[in-house]
Amino acid sequence: MSPRKKKILKRGKRYQRARRLPLIKKEEKYVPHILRGMKDILPADQIYWDFVLKKMEEAVRSYGFSKITLPILEDKKLFEKGTGRTTEIVEKQMFNFSDQSGTPIALRPEGTPQLVRAYIEQGMDNLPQPVKLYHFGQRFRYERPQSGRQREFWQFDIDILGSEKPIVDAEILLLLQNIFQELGLKINFEINSLGCENCRKVYRNKLVAYLGGRRNKLCPDCQKRLEVNPLRVLDCKEQTCQFFLSQSPQIIDWLCEECRAHFTRLLEYLDELEIIYSLNSRIVRGLDYYTKTVFEILPKRVDKQKDQQLEAQPAHEIVRGQIALGGGGRYDNLVEFLGGRSTPACGVALGLERIIEELKAQSAKIPKIKSPQIFVAQISEIARSTALKIFENLRQEGFRATHNLSKDSLKTQLEIANKLKVKFSLIIGHQEFLNKTVIIRDMNSGNQEIVDQAKIVREIKKRLK
């Protein structure tokens, strides 16, 4: 703030008003803080992220999927057209801005339209079909933050483009079943079919006729949905709407012959592959592009005492809340709708934060990071770089070594080594520096031995055998 402005500010508001000066406000003190709905992923949590991503990547690669990395920013129109202008994501949740050239940009709220954009733009329709791709990264949705719902979150997407066959849907579900087994999580698939444009039109009319008579009893949001996108009413969590929906017509009963055959064949495959699922006619998904198969992955409670009771209940009753760990389905028209050739496709996105929360909730076993074996300590300034060199040498030889070269006191360094439960500490003082030696201290017995620096790797190998 300029000195003149500071002077005016000091004289107060009354002075500023009397002189008709534009009101100068005190500069707000800025305290750095994270944005609402965003999360720092701290080092202690990385073990979960590494574990989950490793398991997912291993699984998809073994199924022949290739990785694609897509930009975080896209043209806003891509999502308006791809995800759907009337969807909640586009209408209320997109982070939009214009860049310096005035182009409307969106932080990607989901990955499917951009995968399709890349498929068309990069000529992947000329590759042998189907094309099997996976990608992961941050997505952004301006939601009301709550447990399991963030404004920035990570998804792992798995998609197969270029086949209309129901065996593709089954393959994705089998792959997902394997991923969750590998992660040690109990889940349930909830499956539905949304049919094609033709049968959905018939069903939409039936649903509107049924709900229309009960319009005033629906929640205000559903009254609006009834006009714009009646199928979204099926998604409503309000109790009053849920009551009416329990008796509403079901889409499965209105599928055309082709869609029914696709769905029936998929369910047969699932039985043949021993994939456990439940049918849920209320799964409509909040995105415009889905056709035929849609599904969500819901966590199963793992309360051991209640296990027996739970087995006896229908699967949709034993899921915990409505926090889906992932969701997906077929999008047979999206490639053509975005300007490509007619290319049926099917895919899923897994919510990484929710999966990690569920791993914690279900106390799943996560492999621990291996702790260090050796601590390199130094006692004098002159020995510091030698200590760093020895550490580097050990690291290159494949030992798990560590150090804290910022500390001066040997006592403090050995306390750190003790806490880390290393087997050996290597100590380099003034004398050892001059003699080109190292003290090897056995941290259990406290025994110490002096060895040549040149022989340290051999000596450590011998002792760690």
In the complex, the residues that contact ligand HAM under the rule CB under 6 A are: 110-112, 141, 143, 148-150, 153, 155, 157, 159, 287, 324-328, 331, 347-349, 351, 353-354
Helical residues (DSSP H) of 100-165, grouped into ranges: 112-121
CA 200/CA 256 separation, integer angstroms: 9
**How near is the Cβ of 292 to ligand HAM at its closest, in Å?**
12
Residue 11 CB, nearest approach to ligand HAM (Å): 49
Indicate the residue among 69 and 216 with the shorter CB distance to ligand HAM.
69
Q: Which residues contact 64 (CB under 8 A, 6 or more apart)?
A: 132
C-alpha separations of 278 from 270, 275, 325 in Å: 11, 10, 16
> Partners of 146 in the beta sheet?
149
Mention every residue, 6+ apart, whose C-beta is less than 8 A from residue 335: 116, 119, 120, 125, 161, 341, 342, 343, 345
Which residues, 6+ apart, have CB-to-CB distance to 435 below 8 Å? none
Give the count of beta carbons closer than 10 Å to the beta carbon of residue 432: 22
Between 328 and 344, name the residue whose CB sits nearer to ligand HAM: 328
CA quadruple 333, 113, 205, 237: dihedral sign = positive
CB of 24 to ligand HAM, least distance (A): 40
Got the DSSP string for 69-102?
Answer: ---SEEEHHHHIIIIITTSHIIIII-EEEE-TT-
Write out the E strands in 123-254: 131-140, 152-161, 187-193
Measured distance CA(318)–CA(299) in Å, rounded? 9
Kindly tell me which of 186 and 407 has the beta carbon lying closer to ligand HAM. Answer: 186
Residue nearer to ligand HAM on the CB measure, 213 or 321: 321
CB of 155 vs ligand HAM, minimal distance in Å: 5
Dist CA 216 CA 198 (whole Å): 29
Q: What residue ranges in 281-341 does DSSP mark as E strands?
A: 291-299, 326-330
Q: Which residue number, 296 or 432, has a Cβ lying nearer to ligand HAM?
A: 296
Pick 291 or 437: Cβ nearer ligand HAM: 291
Which residue's CB is nearer to ligand HAM, number 326 or number 429? 326
Q: Write the DSSP symbol of residue 27.
A: P
Give me the phi and psi of 207, to 5 degrees please.
-65, -45
Q: How far is the CB of 354 from ligand HAM (least distance, A)?
A: 4
For residues 110 and 432, which CB has a smaller minimum distance to ligand HAM in the complex? 110
Give the nearest distance from C-beta 325 to ligand HAM in angstroms.
Answer: 5
Give min distance, CB of 437 to ligand HAM, in A: 56
- In the complex, residue closest to ligand HAM by CB: 351
- The minimum distance between CB 106 and ligand HAM, in angstroms, equals 14
Looking at the Cβ atoms of 326 and 340, the one nearer to ligand HAM is: 326
Give the Å distances, CA to CA, from 35 to 31, 40, 61, 138. Answer: 12, 10, 35, 15
Supply the minimum distance, in Å, between the C-beta of residue 110 and ligand HAM: 4
